Amino acid sequence: MKKLILTIGIVAMFFGIAMAGNVTIKGSDTLVRLGQRWAEEYMKKHPETVIQVSGGGSGTGIAALLNGATDICEASRDMKEKEYKKAEELGIKPYRASVALDGIAVFLNEKNPVSELNFAQLKGIYTGAITNWKEVGGSDARIILYGRENNSGTYAFFKAHVMDKEDYSDYTQTLPGTAAVVNAVSKDVNGIGYGGIAWAKGVKYAAVSKDEKDKAVLPAMESVSDGTYPISRELYWFFNGVPTGDLKKLLNWALSEEGQKVAAEIDYVPLSKEQAEKNMVK
């Protein structure tokens, strides 16, 4: 028994030492899948580098970066004022690079005559100010709201970005996961839902415009990637200072055509080519 404990101890120490010289990535749960795939692919090419990826949420990742507990922090949001201030106090110089994009689509039932919605309408619908489809050019029927649970990042993003942080209507039916939302809308002629853009099966996307005067755009890899689709966000990697050495190599590879292709394969939206090149560290 003692021997076993000793062995475990030695192995753990050994790993500890081995990890110390290498890269740790920590943060957003939205990004963790992508971080892992990138790490796998990168380690295949560079067996000398060991990359350790873990999730925990954007806030957790940022805290780890400020404490010096991680080399790269993944975040699906920018750092808050408070966090920037704290970084300054701790002598950390956060360097932000967007590495991929994420679009949120609005789902409608295929039989719904409505096909375009602007931000004001979406806000009205989800806050409960607009309750009938005829108010947004549809048939005379009650709008049935579907959404995500209130701990979901998508819930928070949609609320902050489209609804000016107002509360969702109490009548919003919350479902666990985007797949459940899509399923519900596909079965409900008067349903509306939102979620990641790679999910829609049996529902149609609403074309969305920020303003009444703007042209409504359908969500797709391209329109999110070039920024014409209005409900999208950047996903970031934060470093302490401008990355050098292994970190720089890793970032530039992730932003390369190859790295962005990996992202697209697992349904993240790649950056436009120019944007990706601009974000690389020279």
Does residue 76 touch another protein according to CB under 8 A? Answer: no
Question: Which residues in the 42-61 window bind another protein by CB under 8 A?
Answer: 57
Nearer to another protein, 189 or 220 (CB): 189
Nearer to another protein, 82 or 215 (CB): 82
Nearer to another protein, 24 or 131 (CB): 131
DSSP string, 88-121: HHHT--EEEEEEEEEEEEEEEETT-S--EEEHHH
**How many angstroms separate the CA atoms of 87 and 270, rounded?**
29
Beta carbon of residue 167, minimum distance to another protein (angstroms, whole number) = 5
Nearer to another protein, 70 or 183 (CB): 183
Beta carbon of residue 131, minimum distance to another protein (angstroms, whole number) = 11
Nearer to another protein, 178 or 225 (CB): 178
Beta carbon of residue 144, minimum distance to another protein (angstroms, whole number) = 6
Question: Which residues in the 183-212 window bind another protein by CB under 8 A?
Answer: 183-184, 187-188, 191
Question: Which residues in the 143-182 window bind another protein by CB under 8 A?
Answer: 144, 149-152, 155-156, 165, 167-168, 170-176, 180
- The residues near 103 (Cβ < 8 Å, ≥ 6 apart) are 196, 197, 219, 223, 224, 229, 231, 232, 269
Nearer to another protein, 177 or 227 (CB): 177
Q: What are phi and psi of 175, to 5 degrees?
A: -125, 150
Burial of 249 (0-12, 13-18, 19+ CB in 10 A): middle
Phi-psi region of 205 (alpha: psi -120 to 50; beta: other; left: phi over 0): beta
Does residue 16 touch another protein according to CB under 8 A? Answer: no
Beta carbon of residue 170, minimum distance to another protein (angstroms, whole number) = 5
Q: In angstroms, what is the C-alpha Rg of the chain?
A: 22
Beta carbon of residue 235, minimum distance to another protein (angstroms, whole number) = 18
| 276 alpha carbon, distance to own chain's centre | 17
Site string for another protein, 237-276 (x = CB under 8 A): ----------------------------------------
- The site for another protein (CB under 8 A) is made up of 57, 142, 144, 149-152, 155-156, 165, 167-168, 170-176, 180, 183-184, 187-188, 191
